[in-house]
Amino acid sequence: MELRELTALELGAAIRRGEVSIVEAAQTALDAVSAQDGALNAFITVTGARALERAEALQAGVRDAQGPLYGVPMAIKDNICTKGVKTTCASRILGDFTPPYDAAAVDALARAGAVSLGKLNMDEFAMGSTSETSFYGPVRNPWDLGRAPGGSSGGAAAAVAAGMGWYAIGSDTGGSIRQPASFCGVTGIKPTYGTVSRYGLIAYASSLDQIGPLCRDAADCAAVLDALMGHDRRDATSLPGPRSRWDGSGPRVDYGHLLDGLTGDIRGMKIGLPVDCFGDGLDGEVRSAVLAAAEVLKGRGAQLVELPFPVLPYAVPAYYIIACAEASSNLSRFDGVKYGWRAEEYDGLGDLYCKTRTQGFGAEVKRRILLGTFVLSSGYYDAYYKKALQVKAVIRDAFDRVFEQCDLLLTPVAPTAAPRLGESLSDPLQMYLSDVYTVSVNLAGLPGLSMPCGLNGDGLPVGAQLIGPHFGEGALLNAAHAFQLETDWHRKRPPPAAADAEPPSALKGEGLCGGDLK
């Protein structure tokens, strides 16, 4: 049995049946890492020794294994805190930050029997759409080493696509799970805001950030979400379950039944196609791939309805105003005093702050900090930040109306397939605009899923996005599952990346990466 061909659930089952040992699985993944990551640069830190120890410990308890993911090796985006393991956010300023605590999501997966292989590369502080802004060098797309894997969870998408682990968890603030998933041909979902604790997720934009899985298929996503989702008292924005004791008010969520709900039966499901999402600026091949996906869903008994979504043009500017504003505040704590990196030379306190932050942050991060500082500064707050919060309300209401007419929306994830390395960095505004189909979902706090729906002429994966109403994860996953019962795009794998392909960055190597396999 070729382990790397299995999905997380298939591997989990094989482990519970005793056909595969957890150590064997972990070693297989670590071999894949050493074979390919020199070229892909998907990992910042590889914790091979820890992984094998953990695998042995779990193997001992395999008889009374709890849950379908027990013993399955995976990896974690490097903006999610891991106790005792460096968590860098792909930034120089957190180059040697080792948290004394685990993120709630990491706890949850540990309880589900996860074996972590290490920490995944990303855009610095999750600010980017290509995973090229990492201080530790760009991630490469396993389908074409000359191209970007998307971002900001590019390392996660590349790792899963290249079989370096059976699933990964990333974060999605404006598309950072869905867009790289589509560029790398994997399935990723950003759940409803508040359903996965943000405790231990290093904040980019607190009101938009959400943790979610990148997997081989929808069923794996459902299984990982079942483990990830749940109320956490440490995160005041986390939503309680229906049975949890809670003196607040607001929505309650029935957690933990997504996998059971995957029937693949979507007969009578109304799927909306927002015409504004198929207009100008959308690559022809992407358009036809997504529309073809719509037909497949129709073939499974879904109903297609075209509808307008006129607020689309306002999503990107509103998103960047809100995200940058929150980021400018969230990233102020990185000043070289309490943790992380401090400039070598400085003259006095003010200079310590300036030099540490100027040398510690990359260009894109500094650009967004300045932008965020601008929209909050006195005299501009109302015109920009307050306005953006009003537009956020408008967009949320627009979605509410749309979901009165349909159960789900089907849209492209990105206007094009994966761009060539370097292509996007030259023009930040252009890069921001490419987030047009994903950011509105975060503004409204909705769940959004990206699934592979084809390959373009260059043999690059194309993704389709499903958007649901709040707590519509079940419907999203079931629709994706139905699609994947009909198609095998999600089974397609890139050719293994040669180990000898030259490393993408001079910065690579010990010291900075510090992984025990590098």
Scan residues 449-478 and list those touching another protein (CB under 8 A): 470
Per CB under 8 A, the list member of 4, 13, 264, 381 interacting with another protein is 381
- Residue position matching structure tokens 């987030």: 435
Residues 40-99 that bind another protein (CB under 8 A): 80-81, 87, 89, 94, 96-99
Per CB under 8 A, the list member of 158, 186, 201, 224 interacting with another protein is 201
Q: What's the order of all strands across the beta sheet hosting 408-412? A: 43-46, 115-120, 73-77, 167-171, 211-215, 187-190, 448-455, 461-467, 408-412, 270-274, 303-307
2 binds another protein (CB under 8 A): no
Instruction: Look at residues 456, 479, 500 and name the one whose alpha carbon lies nearest to residue 293.
Output: 479
Per CB under 8 A, the list member of 292, 376, 455, 507 interacting with another protein is 376
**Residue 374 CB, nearest distance to another protein (Å)?**
5
**Distance separating alpha carbons of residues 446 and 398, to the nearest angstrom:** 12
**Residue 320 CB, nearest distance to another protein (Å)?**
7
Q: Between residues 100 and 284, which has the closer beta carbon with respect to another protein?
A: 100
**Distance separating alpha carbons of residues 94 and 217, to the nearest angstrom:** 33
- H, E, C per residue of 125-155: HHCCCCCCCCCCCCCCECCECCECCCCCCHH
Q: Between residues 83 and 300, which has the closer beta carbon with respect to another protein?
A: 83
Q: Is 77 a catalytic residue?
A: yes
Residues 202-221 that bind another protein (CB under 8 A): 202-203, 205-207
Q: Between residues 44 and 158, which has the closer beta carbon with respect to another protein?
A: 44
193 binds another protein (CB under 8 A): yes
Of 2-10, 58-66, 374-382, 486-494, the window that binds another protein (rule: CB under 8 A) is 374-382
403 binds another protein (CB under 8 A): no
Which neighbouring-strand residues pair with 411?
Answer: 465
Using CA atoms, how far residue 334 sits from 71, 125, 343, 402, in Å, is 36, 12, 12, 41
**Residue 117 CB, nearest distance to another protein (Å)?**
21
Per CB under 8 A, the list member of 103, 139, 266, 439 interacting with another protein is 103
**Residue 396 CB, nearest distance to another protein (Å)?**
6
Q: Is 91 a catalytic residue?
A: no
Contacts for 513 with CB less than 8 Å, ≥ 6 apart: 43, 44, 45, 136
Using CA atoms, how far residue 352 sits from 91, 337, 431, in Å, is 18, 9, 32
Q: Between residues 4 and 342, which has the closer beta carbon with respect to another protein?
A: 342
**Residue 213 CB, nearest distance to another protein (Å)?**
19
**Distance separating alpha carbons of residues 80 and 502, to the nearest angstrom:** 28
**Distance separating alpha carbons of residues 19 and 1, to the nearest angstrom:** 9
- Residue position matching structure tokens 């996953």: 477
CB burial string 339-351: b at 16+ within 10 A, e below: bbbebeebeeeee
Residues 259-298 that bind another protein (CB under 8 A): none
Q: Between residues 369 and 449, which has the closer beta carbon with respect to another protein?
A: 369
Using CA atoms, how far residue 65 sits from 58, 241, 395, 415, in Å, is 9, 25, 44, 43
Instruction: Retrieve residue 312's tokens.
Output: 């689309």
**Residue 412 CB, nearest distance to another protein (Å)?**
21
Phi, psi of 266 (to 5 degrees): -120, 25
**Residue 371 CB, nearest distance to another protein (Å)?**
6
Q: Between residues 34 and 98, which has the closer beta carbon with respect to another protein?
A: 98
CB-CB contact of 267 with 301 (8 Å) = yes
388 binds another protein (CB under 8 A): yes
Q: Between residues 136 and 320, which has the closer beta carbon with respect to another protein?
A: 320
Using CA atoms, how far residue 465 sits from 245, 429, 437, 508, in Å, is 35, 23, 8, 34
Q: Is 152 a catalytic residue?
A: yes
**Distance separating alpha carbons of residues 143 and 166, to the nearest angstrom:** 17
167 binds another protein (CB under 8 A): no
Which neighbouring-strand residues pair with 118?
Answer: 46
**Residue 238 CB, nearest distance to another protein (Å)?**
8
Q: Between residues 183 and 319, which has the closer beta carbon with respect to another protein?
A: 319
Contacts for 256 with CB less than 8 Å, ≥ 6 apart: 226, 229, 230
Q: Where is 375: in which H helix or E strand?
A: helix 363-376
User: What x-and-dash track marks residues 296-325 binding another protein by CB under 8 A?
Assistant: ---------------x-xx--xx-xx---x
Q: Which position among 116, 152, 153, 328 bears the catalytic label?
A: 152
Q: Between residues 36 and 192, which has the closer beta carbon with respect to another protein?
A: 192
255 binds another protein (CB under 8 A): no
**Residue 422 CB, nearest distance to another protein (Å)?**
17
**Distance separating alpha carbons of residues 51 and 24, to the nearest angstrom:** 11
Residues 230-249 that bind another protein (CB under 8 A): 233-237, 239, 246-249
Per CB under 8 A, the list member of 137, 151, 155, 194 interacting with another protein is 194
Residues 330-359 that bind another protein (CB under 8 A): 332-342, 346, 348-350, 352-355, 357-358
Total residues at interface with another protein (CB under 8 A): 99
DSSP annotation of 373 reads H
499 binds another protein (CB under 8 A): no
Per CB under 8 A, the list member of 63, 429, 488, 500 interacting with another protein is 429
Per CB under 8 A, the list member of 50, 198, 216, 518 interacting with another protein is 198
513 binds another protein (CB under 8 A): no
Q: Between residues 5 and 400, which has the closer beta carbon with respect to another protein?
A: 400
Instruction: Look at residues 445, 7, 465 and name the one whose alpha carbon lies nearest to residue 222.
Output: 7
Residues with a catalytic annotation lie at 77, 152, 176
